Structure 1
Amino acid sequence: MSRLLVAVLALATAYVASLVVLPIEKVEVVGTAHLTKPEVQRLTGLYPGESWLWATSFKLRALRADPWVKAARIERPALGVVRVVVTERVPVATLVRGKEERLGLAGDGTVLPGAPRVGPEIQGFGPDRTREALEIVRLFPDATSIHYTPAGFSVNWQGRKLWAPDARSLRAVADRARMSASTEYYAYTWGVSLRR
């Protein structure tokens, strides 16, 4: 029991000494566009006066749990200086749920709360095919809408309508669809149907 007490006292003394001898003097936050510096500091608990030695990746748990954060790391470029380097997710499409709900979607399918409306609107019914719709967003980033059903995908792109049973089929004919003057383009497993 006395060894445990001595160990606890030693750790407490080391922590207090680290606050006095090596405090954080400056916190830098880089790589953020959506999150603000105060939000990052609140999520990490890194403020001037805290211990510089205890500024470890353990402090990033809550920050990494934020849906906007794709990756984060801590750097200590100089004594007393802590830099939090954040890579944020970027909205690439808007997920439509119901009549009123519009949610920003990152390229990996993460819902981004508070994201502006960008890219094509994705909506549909039946089994969730959002991930596959995001593959179509990468093929046709300037599409205005992507609608899915259990049967396939309907894409409104540059005044044209494209339809295919899956993203793989659209990928196979994407270059051909870009060169076609047809207003309706249907890609089936057995071939392609065009309508002007």
Structure 2
Amino acid sequence: MKIGTKLQLEALDPKTMKNEKYHCKVIDKNKSYLFIDLPIHQRTKRSSFLPLNTKITVTFLDQEKIAHQFESKIVKKGKYRIPTLAILLPAKEQIKKIQRRNFVRIETAVDVAVHSLQNAFSPFTTVTSDISGGGVSIILPQDVSLQQGEKLEATIVLPMHSGENVYITANGEVVNIKEANRRIQLAAVKFIHLDSHDQQKIIQFCFEKQREARQKELM
């Protein structure tokens, strides 16, 4: 893990007894610790000084954009020019890879704006057919033609359960073009560059939608 790597932290709030999410980045490291800047609360966007001995779940993307996760805890304050915290650095075997096939994929229509990274097509707006933490399928407008292997940037609008609209920007690669029916084509896009914080927002959105669907089935 390199200095500058962005992390997502998840910790139990003892007051609410709910898991809260934060994001931060690695500013230094040694054989025993990772030193991070003050975590930013995902919902409030405020800096948070997590108490010592707070147990945390840490998620990050490696250089190949593969998600990894490990358990750790806040052990001390760092001595730097900016406020920092030190977390225990786990052994390599304690860092687990999160396989893309384990991402929850849900069928849902959310707004997305698409731009070419190679100036191969004009920007366009459309909606998704499905989405997961590893990629997205988008409905192609009738006047748009994409090719397999094409690189693009997608800005996705996620309407969260809280009522907040979260904007996610990711670079992706078209891996497949298929026909949903005679009039609609779908482009399957895998994410090739996605901030770990944004990826966790997508995963959270997918779980929320999955939970809503289950609740409707029980009604």
TM range (shorter): under 0.3
Q: TM-score by structure 2 length?
A: 0.22
Q: TM-score by structure 1 length?
A: 0.23
Comparing both structures, which one devotes a greater share of its residues to helix?
Answer: 1
| Higher RCO, Cα 8 Å, sep 6+ | 2
Comparing both structures, which one devotes a greater share of its residues to strand?
Answer: 2
